[in-house]
Structure 1
Amino acid sequence: MKQTITFLPSLLFGLITWVRNKLFDWGILPSRSFEKPRIIVVGNLAVGGTGKSPLVAYLVKNWRGGDRLGILSRGYGRKTKGYIEVNGQSSAEEVGDEPLAYKSLFPELPVAVCEKRTEGVEKMPEVDVLLLDDAFQHRSLKSSLNLVCSTFEKPFYQDTLLPHGRLRESAKGIERADAVIVTRCPSILTKEQKSNFAQGVLRNSKEEKPIFYTSVRYAKPVGPREHLPSKWALFAGIADPKPFFTYASSLGQIQEEVIYGDHHRFTEVELLELEQQAKTMAGDEGFLTTHKDFVRLQSHLSQLPNLGNHLYYLPMEMYFIDQEEQFWDWLGKN
């Protein structure tokens, strides 16, 4: 019944996005390019949870050469509007959780938010390379490169349009990608698995695309004490919390798992409930969450001392399963 209800709206959504893309393709809707900085878009075709943020962080951490880098994001979930530069005193309510997470990882890097990306590019501090987080559908700006993320488990070519599925536009949109970054892959991929994915991309594109396969790894939890708790209460407000919960289960006894919506904004009642729960925790107990959830809570912790004394987050980073040097060679040539 649900599929029947969502099927017709997805057809209408597909028509609207097709017309919009054609208007840009035909030059009826303007698309602005910038001679400087070099603009690299990190985006996707599906909503949420495709690994864009880990890719942006990887690029910054491993960038080759002396280019000055910057990050521009929409700042999803913020209560503000317009162009804002992220600083150490910013809150998730002001700039969104992802930009705040970038700033905490790279304090010296210019990070800004602006829903109008062309305006954001104009106002950014001077940089050589600007990484645009989640701007693949923002076609009023013409990028130097488009890196499109798709998870290995839920590839874009097996998905359908919103609201029937998770796609923001037709799978044919992959034609605008310069490279496809496959995220959250198993640590070992067979030639057959890679070939199947490449065929899925080719079915929706007029030409072959460079495809690079990546996964994620976790580091030691970060929190108020070096000696980690052995019992954990887990919570996460991200698009796909399954990998987080799976890995966290290896860190000790799991007493609780709570899932919030993506980019969840904690209410005053929820914060007080977490504080009260933390107050009853023993020394070997703690909360464990994701980095994005932690930065959303960080500005409240001065008023929540018990939560602050028991709250840890799990760092995560992306890595290439293979062909890492080929990726950097390709990026340097394009």
Structure 2
Amino acid sequence: MKYFRYFLFPLSVLYGCILSIRNFLYNHKFLKSKSYSVPVICVGNLNTGGTGKTPMIELLVRTLGEEYNLATLSRGYKRATKGFIEVNTNHSSSDVGDEPLQFKNNFPDLKVAVDANRQRGISNLLRAYPKLDMILLDDAFQHRKVKPDFSIVLTTYKDLYVRDFVLPTGNLREFKTGAKRADMIIVTKCPKDLSRTKQKNIALQLRPKPYQKLLFSTILYSEFVTNTLQKIDINSFNNFTLVTGIANPSPLVHHLKALDKKFSHEKFPDHHEFSAAEIQRLQKLPLLLTTQKDYMRLKTEFSTEKLFYLPIESRILNDPDSLKLNIEKQVFDHLE
């Protein structure tokens, strides 16, 4: 399959050129992007999936939420519903999507909404909450109909966008030159001990523009596994089946192996909708561990004695204060 994708190179060039023309039309205002009086912060990527957008949105909520009245807006990928929905904790993942449901469960006071039409979604949020200070747009870097006040592009430590090519030969959603629209580039899923020398080497590869801030982040895993009723020290949690429906479970698998955990792995595609047969098969297993995103889809099918998830957080390695300071400086200078 890997080598077959090289035969699709002409399609990649065509696809990339079509997107470049679209971006040109937006950049030169032949196509209109709408701005809003409330700052809009966009988090996205060039690579398809697996760059850590969900923990990054949650990091932004933790970083900005104490001082500002925030809302998040996602499209609600793979939900069975249409249109604008404000998320509450009683929704299911099929109603609103697993990631928005996770945001609401982790931050009950946060305004969380879904709408594939981002302009309509923002308008509905502002109508319902006129005192909002900021809106975080999840996975919207290629959504040019909204003009963000600050854009963050994520790329993973082991899969930098500069080493990739456009779909279908590669895994990029657009040519890598599209990264120049970002105000900040964050390299995610870095080793916790990433040296300054390696950071400089990555900077030489990414070659950020003078106006772009380059940050590095890592994933921190909780010392406990949990569900809606229980929390167990991970040191005493063993002999389980890991169930993942995320784009890249390798960091989680590596982490569990480093802890010398004994487990088998049931790997499914990203945002996988589990069939009745798959649920029935998994229900026969004695103990399951999953990601929180997958837990949002699986929790109604399993008892709390059987199914747990491992919480994670994203953390900036270099200059952590600059995440908030750069956003504040640009968005509020822009509004003045």
1:117 aligns with 2:118: yes
Letter in 2 for 1:222: T
1:213 aligns with 2:216: yes
Alignment-derived partner of residue 194 in structure 1? 199
Find the residue that maps to 1:330 and give its secondary structure: helix
1:330 aligns with 2:326: yes
Alignment-derived partner of residue 137 in structure 1? 142
**Please, which of 266, 271, 277 is the counterpart of residue 269 of structure 1?**
277
Aligned-residue identity in percent? 36
1:79 aligns with 2:69: no
Alignment-derived partner of residue 183 in structure 1? 188
1:150 aligns with 2:158: no
Distance 1:145 1:276 in 2: 47
Letter in 2 for 1:186: P
Distance 1:188 1:251 in 2: 17
Distance 1:11 1:137 in 2: 18
1:243 aligns with 2:228: no
Contact 1:44–1:134 under 8 Å retained in 2: yes
| Cα deviation digits, residues 84-117 of structure 1 (max 9, x gap) | 1111111111111110110110011110000010
Contact 2:183–2:211 under 8 Å retained in 1: no
Alignment-derived partner of residue 313 in structure 2? 317
Letter in 2 for 1:214: S
**Please, which of 9, 12, 15 is the counterpart of residue 13 of structure 1?**
15
Deviation at 1:322, TM superposition (A): 2.2
Distance 1:6 1:196 in 2: 31
| Cα deviation digits, residues 16-55 of structure 1 (max 9, x gap) | 11111111112111111011x2100011111101111111
Distance 2:5 2:269 in 1: 22
Contact 1:213–1:321 under 8 Å retained in 2: yes
Distance 1:145 1:139 in 2: 13
Change in 2 beyond 3 A, CA 1:186/1:251: closer
Contact 1:74–1:114 under 8 Å retained in 2: yes
Distance 1:49 1:158 in 2: 16
**Please, which of 259, 266, 275 is the counterpart of residue 258 of structure 1?**
266
Distance 2:230 2:275 in 1: 26
Alignment-derived partner of residue 99 in structure 2? 98
Letter in 2 for 1:217: L
Query: Structure 1: any 5+ residue segments left out of the alignment?
Result: none
Change in 2 beyond 3 A, CA 1:225/1:329: closer
Alignment-derived partner of residue 288 in structure 1? 289
Contact 1:150–1:183 under 8 Å retained in 2: yes
Find the residue that maps to 2:67 and give its secondary structure: coil
RMSD: 1.7
Distance 1:123 1:192 in 2: 46
Distance 2:4 2:84 in 1: 39
Contact 1:230–1:252 under 8 Å retained in 2: no
Letter in 1 for 2:90: Q
Calculate the TM-score normalised by the size of structure 1. 0.91
Contact 1:234–1:254 under 8 Å retained in 2: no
Contact 2:5–2:168 under 8 Å retained in 1: no
Distance 2:195 2:264 in 1: 36
Deviation at 1:191, TM superposition (A): 3.2
Distance 1:112 1:274 in 2: 31
> Which moves more between the two structures, 123-132 or 245-254?
245-254
Contact 1:174–1:201 under 8 Å retained in 2: no
Deviation at 1:78, TM superposition (A): 0.9
> Which moves more between the two structures, 23-32 or 252-261?
252-261
Distance 1:137 1:10 in 2: 17
Contact 2:40–2:136 under 8 Å retained in 1: yes
| Cα deviation digits, residues 213-243 of structure 1 (max 9, x gap) | 1101100111354454321111100011001
1:50 aligns with 2:51: yes
How many pairs are equivalent?
319
Letter in 2 for 1:179: M
